[in-house]
Structure 1
Amino acid sequence: MFDLKEAIAQAQFVTFMTGAGVSTASGIPDYRSKGGLYSDLASPEEALSDDNLRLHHQAFHDWVVKKMYYPNAKPNVIHEKMAAITNEKGAIVTQNVDGLHQKGGAKHVIEFHGNLYNIFCQTCGRHFDYQTYLKSDVHEADGGVLRPGIVLYGEPIEPNVIARAVSAIRQADLLVVVGTSFQVYPFAGLIGYARPDAVLAAVNREPIALPAGAHMVLGDATAVFAKL
């Protein structure tokens, strides 16, 4: 019987790979479940595409502001426990763009898909606070379109982000996937960089595809992490 708490205690370096399921307990909806971010869209990838931003920036802005910003969300026990573990001996590679891992105290976070609160003008590069973006996506000084620094469908992941993520995966002798269906690439493909001797585990409500020999901890991640 696999014991996650014992595995963490024994590990020299723990890397967590996290998805939207880590933040649902903080009141942030996931993407594809009933009531999730994409539940009312016929083509979800279109809403968060680079084409939509380029061709329909106001519609993009309205959708993102309405659906994705939860500035009052607080870190939950998963964020806090992961912070305590990785600040001592590990790292977090996350798909999440909400910044809650850092708010929860984590110091070693690789945001694979960027951060919603990193707002910049596409014309001049100047950065703005997210409150400005909530009001308008146009930079009055030069007419440039503001955008959040998140990776959209159709955009590549920055090479330095990939390099940092791969490094965190390769260092780990324990790799734990939490709160993700593990179907979005290239994020899911990062597990291919795991060391041959690394222990692989996942915490999720439903089984996910993992390499042979990996351990599946089925259940609510908040309950699992509360016991660590």
Structure 2
Amino acid sequence: MTELNKILNRANKIVFLTGAGVSTASGIPDYRSKNGLYAQKKTPEYLLSHTCLIREPETFYQYVKHNLYYPNSKPNIIHKKMAAFAKAGKAIIITQNIDNLHGQSGVPVDRLVEFHGNLYKIYCQKCHQRVPYQTYLQSMHHQNCGGILRADVVLYEEGIKQENLQKSVLALQQADTIVVCGTSFVVYPFAGLIEYRNSNAKVVAVNKETISLPEKGIMIKGDAVQEFEQVTIKA
């Protein structure tokens, strides 16, 4: 039995903190690795900012449409194993990812916090009506009122929803085990959530690169897909 498997099956209340590395096995590029999305463009922070959305909505729309959407991607083994713990009532997932794959894997709504929002939830900025993401990918203009559509995600210069912050802090305060997976853990305020953890909680990270962890944190350096393939879930 692997170290990760032992840790997860001894836990009663797990919080999974996940980032883009969880979805690379589903064919979605990450952001900050040498081959990631941010390595391809000089100013992604501007192109994904509130300022760009307001000043240059067409530029913003084209960048988002052609760089962020992977509607044919499916949850991989990491998503599925995490979902199994969530469905068993043993885990809550707090994710930086906006790709909807945790939701697709069957995580109950009350056990998933999409910290930065969801690309597949679209609304009109003028009338606030929701529309299917397929409609958004055809046009950034709302056919009903002419308003500009956008995804319900947190852009640069925008704040995290209070509800997501509160749910995340509460989950970490109640957890006995925290598993960080697929994230460089340098983007705030997400990385700062660890400071709100139960002081007795075990902290473990599963990542290809070593990341900074609290004292006594356990670093499992390797491929998260291989690690989660070996995880079994006790009935």
Query: Which TM bucket (shorter chain)?
Result: over 0.9
Partner of 1:75: 75
Secondary structure at the aligned position of 2:205 is classed as strand
Give structure 1 regions of 4+ aligned residues with deviation exceeding 6 angstroms: none
- Give 1:33 deviation, angstroms: 1.9
Secondary structure at the aligned position of 1:138 is classed as coil
Matches within 5 A, 1:190-205: 190-205=193-208
Give a deviation string over 1:59-96, Cα, whole Å, max 9, x none.
Answer: 11100010011111010000000011122211000000
How many aligned residue pairs are there?
Answer: 227
Give a deviation string over 1:77-127, Cα, whole Å, max 9, x none.
Answer: 000000111222110000000110111111111000000001000000001
Letter in 2 for 1:83: A
Matches within 5 A, 1:84-103: 84-88=84-88, 89-103=90-104
Secondary structure at the aligned position of 2:16 is classed as strand
**Which stretches in structure 2 are left out of the alignment for 5+ residues?**
none
Paired residues of 1:172 and 1:195 also in contact (CA < 8 A): yes
Paired residues of 1:15 and 1:86 also in contact (CA < 8 A): no
Give a deviation string over 1:109-163, Cα, whole Å, max 9, x none.
Answer: 1000000001000000001101111111111332211000000000000111100
Q: Equivalents in 1 of 2:177, 2:86: separation in Å?
A: 11
Q: Equivalents in 2 of 1:127, 1:106: separation in Å?
A: 22
Partner of 1:127: 130
Letter in 2 for 1:153: Y
> Is 1:19 aligned to residue 19 of structure 2?
yes
Q: Equivalents in 2 of 1:90, 1:36: separation in Å?
A: 29
- Give 1:167 deviation, angstroms: 1.3
Identical aligned pairs, as a percentage? 49
Partner of 1:213: 216
Letter in 1 for 2:186: Q
Secondary structure at the aligned position of 2:92 is classed as strand
Q: Equivalents in 1 of 2:47, 2:32: separation in Å?
A: 13
Letter in 2 for 1:154: E
Paired residues of 1:138 and 1:146 also in contact (CA < 8 A): yes
Paired residues of 2:82 and 2:91 also in contact (CA < 8 A): no
> Is 1:186 aligned to residue 189 of structure 2?
yes
Partner of 1:7: 7
Q: Equivalents in 2 of 1:79, 1:197: separation in Å?
A: 26
Secondary structure at the aligned position of 2:39 is classed as coil
- RMSD across aligned positions (CA): 1.0
Using the size of structure 1 for normalisation, the TM-score is 0.97
